[in-house]
Amino acid sequence: MRNSFESPKSAETDLPAEFGDVLSGMDALVLGSPWSGKTSLIKNLVTKLETSGLDPSEVFVIHPQRAAASRLRDQLAVSSKKVATLPRARSITSLAFEILQSELPGVKLVSGAKQQSLIAGLVADSLASGTTKSWGLDAASVALSGFDNERRDLFAVLIENQIDQSRLLAIQESWPKANFQAAIDLLPVYVDALQKNNQVDPSQLIVMATKFAAGAKSAKVVLVDDAQDLSLAGVEFILQLAGSCQLIACGDPDTASLGFRAAAGGFVSELRKKRKNLVEVALTGYRRQPAEVNDLMARLAERIPTSEAFRHRPKSDAKSSIGEFSVFDNQISETDYLASELRRLRVTEGWDWGQMCVVARTRVQLDQLSSDLAARSIPVRILGVQKALRDQPAARSVLDFGQLVFSEPKHYLVTELLGSSLVGLSVIQQRRLFRQLASLEQFEGHNRIQMLESIFEAEIDFDSNEVSRLNRAIKVLGNLKNKNEMGAYQFVSAIWALAPAGKLAELARGESEVALAANRDLDAILQLFAAANRFDQQQGIGARAFLAVQFDAAVPEDSLAQVGLRDLVVLATASQLSGLEFQVLAMPRLQEGIWPNLRPRNSLLGASGLQAFLTGRSDDPSKAARSELADELRLFYKSLGAVRSKLMLSAMQSADEQPSQFFQMLGLSPAAKQVNIEFDPRRLVGRLRAELAAGDASAAPMLA
């Protein structure tokens, strides 16, 4: 049964009459392009269901991503008139863990950082024993960080498809060209290591929770938002959870961002196969995007491969029209133009910085854009988790100070700490400090290394600003050493008390590179406190173990900790845009070879090829599953869907750089742009000063 109707225009709009079958209890598959009203529809449905007499605890709203689930939970809480005893929206991982923990008390979920550390340890053991020789890879390749990610992806494919060692051996024997020997050797050891510690990884969590999902909850209606981002294991979990109640799944296969795990459109075929009398609805008619953006999305959607022509896709009213994109001959000019346009739109349109977003394909590009825009006085923040805490300077200084509590000081470690935000001595102040220490009897005859390694032994009797700062750190260190055992949160709090928090907060108020660095430091410390609090709750085994975990963590932990409340331009990758919209969305540096990135994923260990083989999309697990263009198109399409008013596309064109092929697909032609210096404060001030110096008194009021 299939219907199309105009989607609701806001969360308060009544549901259209065509949705009566769903309100009467029938399962539904709702397809809609970005910002066609899927989330608004879910909020309307929750309101209608509660009005009809259902308790909030009987309506389960699920989202594949934690951050989006958190936002949706708050939106539902605001729009509801009933009191809820449970979260109004949950991530699929959160719900699965709750179900599994009720059946297996004490089970723990392994974070991505801990999982990475565990796998790296198993590989190190294999290298030491010589097992890796059978993998056909040299030691240098095995040690690469990219190899860690490939191992984790391969394990996820094997676990979600419930492939054990014997089945994998059979696949390897049938397809000798496939190289699964690393997984054959490591998977049993990896699973055993988790079982011994009563732990599960994210892939095991969904698979194991699926066994207990049916009847585990007393839900009467299960609603799923952004169902396209569910893996096939996630789809099976949802089907089991909603086995005896109504299921309503909303999504858009054109924006799926987990292609290697068969998330692209997988939920559509599975629902059709396993749920009878399914009402299929296509949201059409209402678009938040300007007509030009809608036209671009319609052209792009035609290029995205699908098993059928989905009726929810946007329709173009002017497919023959030709648009433009901006081209520059270098990155400096492109960034100058981007900064100038963002500032101009803020002044002329009155949009806040937080209503603007800059999207890039890679994290490396985001880091570079963050630095370049900050240098042009644009306040920015990178969305989501940054780096592992050990790789963030402010957090690293706290961790390094903690090392002094439990081990002998190393000269290089002390040098870093003296210049860190905890002690806060500049290079000149450090030189002055060492001259002062050299005059003291207790350091007589010590060279620089010996002085550094003995500097924290006891407080120093000398009256100077530098020694005073050092003595504060020595006192804190002594207090921590005298305490037997303390929690990670208390430990971090005691160390961070050394830092001049007021000075950092003052620096963070600006919009310069210094302010950006101060904001990064404060964000890192908030993440460190959140990690310490989480460690105390989950592990509760002290600060020493917390330090060991953080130094082992090569990848950042997923966290919902608040990382700043200032109004800042958002920098994000396309996959982070679920549920977000912006008045202004800029996509700079759209270069061929970067976006689309057509290099095969998971090619070394063959995770994507194996997944395609197991799901019937390929007849040979040793071959790459398909071109990566489809996933790149989906990411680009998803980005376009986050625009409310203004879209800016730009690229560089030179002998070494060529604009992305996306521009040809969209029918866009290049247009050289000149930077409007009126909206660059430094250039404007310089010009006004020159005019005033030349005798033009009209420049004085503007300059003032």
pLDDT tens-digit profile of 692-704?
A: 888 888 888 888 8
- 407 CB burial (10 A radius; 0-12, 13-18, 19+): exposed
71 vs 563: which has the higher pLDDT: 71
- Give the pLDDT of residue 216: 66
pLDDT of 158 above 90: no
* Range in 249-258, 314-323, 473-482 the model is least confident about: 314-323
**How many angstroms separate the CA atoms of 61 and 73, rounded?**
8
When pLDDT is averaged across residues 653-682 and rounded to a whole number, the result is 80
Give a three-class secondary structure readout of 413-462: HHHHHHHCCCCCCCHHHHHHHHHHHHCCHHHCCCCHHHHHHHCCCCCCCC
The end-to-end CA distance of the chain, in Å, is 68
Instruction: Please say if the pLDDT value at position 464 is more than 60.
Output: yes
User: In this predicted structure, which of 12-21, 478-487, 623-632 has the lowest mean pLDDT?
Assistant: 12-21
Identify the pLDDT of residue 626.
62
Q: Which of 51-55, 116-120, 339-343 has the lowest mean pLDDT?
A: 116-120
| Per-residue model confidence as pLDDT tens digits over 270-291 | 788 888 778 888 887 666 678 8
Sorting pLDDT into bands at 50, 70 and 90, what band is 646?
Answer: very high
Report whether pLDDT(26) > 90. no
The H-assigned helical ranges of 539-587 are 543-552
Name the phi and psi angles at 321, rounded to 5.
Answer: -70, 145
The pLDDT > 70 percentage for the chain reads: 88
Does the structure show a pLDDT above 90 at 571?
A: yes
Query: Is pLDDT at 9 greater than 50 in this prediction?
Result: no
pLDDT score, position 572: 92
* Residue 262 pLDDT level (bands cut at 50, 70, 90): very low
pLDDT at residue 566, rounded to an integer: 67
Average predicted confidence (pLDDT) for the chain: 81
How, if at all, do strands 356-360 and 582-587 pair? Answer: parallel
* Per-residue model confidence (pLDDT) at position 11: 38
Q: How far is CA 587 from CA 325, 572, 584, in A?
A: 10, 10, 10
Report, as an integer, the average pLDDT of 58-65: 90
Q: What is the per-residue pLDDT across 353-396, written as a single tens digit (0 to 9) for each?
A: 999 999 999 888 998 998 889 888 888 888 876 677 787 888 88
pLDDT of residue 13: 43
Considering only residues 102 and 553, tell me which one the structure prediction assigns the higher pLDDT. Answer: 102
562 band by pLDDT with thresholds 50, 70 and 90: low
Q: Averaged over 33-55, what is the pLDDT? A: 85
Matching residue, tokens 């509760």:
540
User: Is residue 236 over pLDDT 60?
Assistant: yes
| Average pLDDT, integer, range 176-196 | 85
Answer with the residue of higher pLDDT: 119 or 239.
239
Query: What is the structure's pLDDT at 62?
Result: 92
**The predicted structure's pLDDT at residue 565:** 56
Average pLDDT value for residue range 494-501: 84
* pLDDT > 70? residue 18: no
Residue 362, both tokens:
């890679």
Look at residue 526 and tell me whether its pLDDT is greater than 50.
Answer: yes
Mean pLDDT across 614-638: 79
What's the rounded Cα separation, in Å, for the pair 628 and 616? 18
Share of the chain above pLDDT 90, in %: 10
For the sheet containing 569-573, what is the strand order? 380-382, 569-573, 356-360, 582-587, 643-652, 323-328, 668-672
> pLDDT band at residue 82, thresholds of 50, 70 and 90?
confident
Tell me the average pLDDT across 671-699.
77
Model confidence at 251, pLDDT cuts 50, 70, 90, reads: confident
Instruction: State the Rg of the chain over Cα.
Output: 28
Judge contact between 218 and 127, C-beta under 8 A.
Answer: no
**600 has a pLDDT exceeding 90:** no
Tokens linked to 196: 């011994």
DSSP codes, 360-380: ESSHHHHHHHHHHHHTTT--E
Please check the confidence at residue 159 and state whether its pLDDT lies above 80: yes
Res 167 pLDDT > 60: yes
Distance in angstroms (rounded) separating the CA atoms of residues 451 and 217: 64
Task: Kindly indicate the confidence band of residue 559, based on its pLDDT and cuts at 50, 70 and 90.
Answer: low
In whole angstroms, give the CA distance from residue 78 to residue 57.
16
Per the model's pLDDT, the better-predicted residue between 563 and 304 turns out to be 304
The string of pLDDT tens digits covering residues 114-133 is: 787 788 888 888 877 777 77
What are the φ/ψ torsions at residue 542 (nearest 5 degrees)?
100, 170
Question: Cα 652 to chain center, whole Å?
Answer: 27
Task: Please tell me which of 286-290, 485-489, 656-660 the model is most confident about, judged by mean pLDDT.
Answer: 656-660
- The predicted model scores a pTM of 0.79
Q: What is the mean pLDDT of residues 1-11?
A: 44
For residue 232, count other CB atoms closer than 10 A to its CB: 21
User: Cα separation of 342 and 346, whole Å?
Assistant: 6
Of 167-181, 182-196, 619-633, 661-675, the range with the lowest mean pLDDT is: 619-633
Average pLDDT over residues 67-77: 87
Grade residue 148 by pLDDT with cuts at 50, 70 and 90: confident
**Does 17 have pLDDT greater than 60?**
no
pLDDT in tens, 201-214: 888 899 999 988 87
Residue range 401-422: mean pLDDT, rounded = 84
Q: Which residue has the higher pLDDT, 123 or 46?
A: 46
DSSP code of 53?
A: T
